[in-house]
Amino acid sequence: GAVVSQHPSWVICKSGTSVKIECRSLDFQATTMFWYRQFPKQSLMLMATSNEGSKATYEQGVEKDKFLINHASLTLSTLTVTSAHPEDSSFYICSASAGLNQPQHFGDGTRLSIL
Amino acid sequence: QKEVEQNSGPLSVPEGAIASLNCTYSDRGSQSFFWYRQYSGKSPELIMFIYSNGDKEDGRFTAQLNKASQYVSLLIRDSQPSDSATYLCAVNPRGSSNTGKLIFGQGTTLQVKP
């Protein structure tokens, strides 16, 4: 149980393109979903927390107009990287939690490369 | 002081030995504690979680929590080369009880040598 699906697995696109990443909880209802970014050999960096039907809460330093998060249902959240540039290239990972104090379950991640 | 601290390692153990991974946290009101395993280039995978003081065992893994010492550990018995990965300690601090947000340590790299 507790499967989180994330798509796409990898994206290569040109600078200026907007990229949408989907995160779905397949076998449980996720009251909260989280979006992380990880650079090579570095720690997970939380970007934002989203609750179904509410605006996402962004961590300090994360541009909300750059990284658009939508959490339309209890099983789906999306992250859109708008007008992506090479410095946005990274490993983006979502996680989902069924409730307070419950574990976060991670998707497989999306490797984004902006040329 | 970092909120969640781990020795980055690498921790090297021979195959079949017990690997002991340690983590300390600063928020005494923290309620939930998690261990994740992350292979290079992959996303984290939940190994164990513990809420109460004491030991919790699951197969070759044992999580130990001591809230008085603000210390949580993960023991891996009969270590296998496939256990070689980075182990992340994560804590749900008191202030995040209404969001589920976790604070992650930097991770400890474990190397199990055949």
Residue of B nearest to A48 (CA): B101
At a CB cut-off of 8 Å and minimum separation 6, what does B58 contact?
A: B48
Nearest Cβ partner for B34 among A93, A100, A103: A103
Interchain CB distance below 8 Å, A104 and B100: yes
Interchain CB distance below 8 Å, B44 and A97: no
For every one of its 114 residues, what pLDDT tens digit does chain B have, with 9 covering 90 and above? Answer: 669 999 999 999 999 999 999 999 999 989 899 999 999 999 999 999 999 999 999 999 999 999 999 999 999 999 999 999 999 999 988 765 567 889 999 999 999 999
The confidence score (pLDDT) of residue B107 equals 95
At a CB cut-off of 8 Å and minimum separation 6, what does A82 contact?
A: A18, A65, A66, A67, A68
- B104 alpha carbon, distance to own chain's centre: 10
How far apart (Å, rounded) are the C-alpha atoms in residues B91 and B113? 29
How far apart (Å, rounded) are the C-alpha atoms in residues A55 and A73? 12
The confidence score (pLDDT) of residue A100 equals 78
Q: Which residues of chain A have pLDDT under 70?
A: none
Closest CA to B94 of B67, B72, B69, B74: B67
Residues pairing with A22 in the sheet = A7, A78
Report whether A11 contacts A33 (CB < 8 A). Answer: no
Question: How close B39 gets to chain A, by Cα (Å)?
Answer: 11
Interchain CB distance below 8 Å, B99 and A32: yes
How far apart (Å, rounded) are the C-alpha atoms in residues A96 and A2? 9
The confidence score (pLDDT) of residue B96 equals 57
| Residue A79 identity (one-letter amino acid) | L
Does residue B27 belong to the interface with chain A, where contact is any CB pair within 8 Å?
no
Interchain CB distance below 8 Å, A34 and B92: no
Residues pairing with B61 in the sheet = B58, B76
The confidence score (pLDDT) of residue B95 equals 65
Mapping DSSP to helix (H, G, I), strand (E, B) and coil, where does residue A88 land?
Answer: helix
Question: How close A106 gets to chain B, by Cα (Å)?
Answer: 6
Residue that has been written with the tokens 């928020």 in this structure = B27
Chain B residues near residue A3 by CB distance under 8 angstroms = none
Tokens matching residue A59: 């961590």
Question: How close B51 gets to chain A, by Cα (Å)?
Answer: 9
| Residue A10 identity (one-letter amino acid) | W
Which site among A50, A95, A104, A110 would you substitute to test the B interface, given the most B Cβ atoms closer than 10 Å to its Cβ? Answer: A104
Closest CA to B76 of B114, B110, B113: B110
